[in-house]
Amino acid sequence: MAKRLGILTSGGDCPGLNAVIRGAVLKGETVHGQEFVGFLDGWKGLIEGNAITLDRRSVRGLSSQGGTIIRTSRVGPYREPDGGAENIKKRMKQLGIDGIIAIGGEGTASASKRLFEDGVNIVGVPKTIDNDLAATDYTFGFSTAVEIATEAIDRLRTTGNSHKRCMVLEVMGRHAGWIALFSGIAGGAHAILIPEQPETIEQISEWVRSVVHRGRAPMVVVAEGFKFPDMDEAHSTKGLDGFNRPRLGGIGEVLAPLIEEHTGIETRSTVLGHIQRGGAPSAFDRVLATRLGMAVTDLIADGGWGQMVALHGTNIARVDFAEALADLKTVPPESYADYRQLFG
């Protein structure tokens, strides 16, 4: 039975990471007699053998803290010259590590699947504020991101009303519109623009004019991956990230002047950016992250390598990495169409 385990957090930081670490260490030590180390800076720490001891004392009070105490990066496990499954297995043997708990999103799950297929004992915990992993109903971090975005909408509406301006808020989500949809609904936005549903500037302008005609200040929420119908790719001017994916962002700055040009209504854009990923996690995210951290130690105790824990309904389930990566979870057309009737 695996007794000494390494934990790493990879990819973008996310509220709730520390709660996962705490849940795993507390239950792993108490129930399964497991020992833990934390690899610093994600896969980079594993490749380089840079780790710290994680025990009850070191995880005390972590549930309410944002970020990750073992830090993260977008370095992949197959980075040359020290990466790759064989080098990682040698590093694990040097450190006496029986298996790895990888906490991350789609990129981390893909890397974990490849490592498992190459003979590395590894399990996963899904993490992303985007809520775009189909194998789990919700990911921790999403609730916090939505709350932060909703508060931003509330604040922007007051300044928009004061100046009779149209306010545009750009939120994260990559190619899934969940943050935009949930925060837009919660904040009473007059238009919600998501990657799954292109909209023309003419339609957006019609919604904005309709709001102004009722004596209101329009509030538009746009996801960073939103595209106009004539766009082949989401707006990106910031190069590639560590997983060779385009860094999205800036569509709000494109949209605002177009709205003003088409309507004559003064329009301002705000990009919420990394504020969505920072700070203390919500109560929901603390509970979900703790449950996932506890469950992953049970998974290891049962020898469930090559799997990750997930939320199905109100229950914690186990799914293979292959199943976890089968589909990107996007907003269903019927869900968007239902709320679209309320725009304008």
- Would the annotation count 105 as a binding residue? yes
130 flagged as catalytic: yes
- Would the annotation count 129 as a binding residue? yes
Q: Which of 13, 41, 130, 132 is catalytic?
A: 130
- Would the annotation count 274 as a binding residue? yes
- Would the annotation count 197 as a binding residue? no
Report yes or no: 124 and 113 within 8 Å, Cβ to Cβ.
Answer: no
- Would the annotation count 212 as a binding residue? no
Report yes or no: 252 and 170 within 8 Å, Cβ to Cβ.
Answer: yes
Which among 85, 90, 68, 80 has a CA at the least distance from the CA of 22?
68
- Would the annotation count 268 as a binding residue? yes
Query: Three-state DSSP class for 124?
Result: strand
Cα distances from 215 to residues 161, 162, 166, 218, in angstroms, run 9, 12, 12, 9
- Would the annotation count 128 as a binding residue? yes
- Would the annotation count 224 as a binding residue? yes
- Would the annotation count 75 as a binding residue? yes
Rg (CA), the chain: 22
- Would the annotation count 22 as a binding residue? no
The burial class, CB within 10 Å (0-12 / 13-18 / 19+), for 289 is buried
CA distance 219 to 208: 8
The partner residues of 100 in beta bridges, in order of sequence, read 6, 122
Residues forming the annotated binding site?
12, 74-75, 105-108, 128-130, 165, 172-174, 224, 268, 274-277
The annotation places the binding site for substrate at: 128-130, 165, 172-174, 224, 268, 274-277
Binding-site residues from annotation for Mg(2+): 106
**Binding residue ranges for ATP:** 12, 74-75, 105-108
Residues assigned a catalytic role: 130
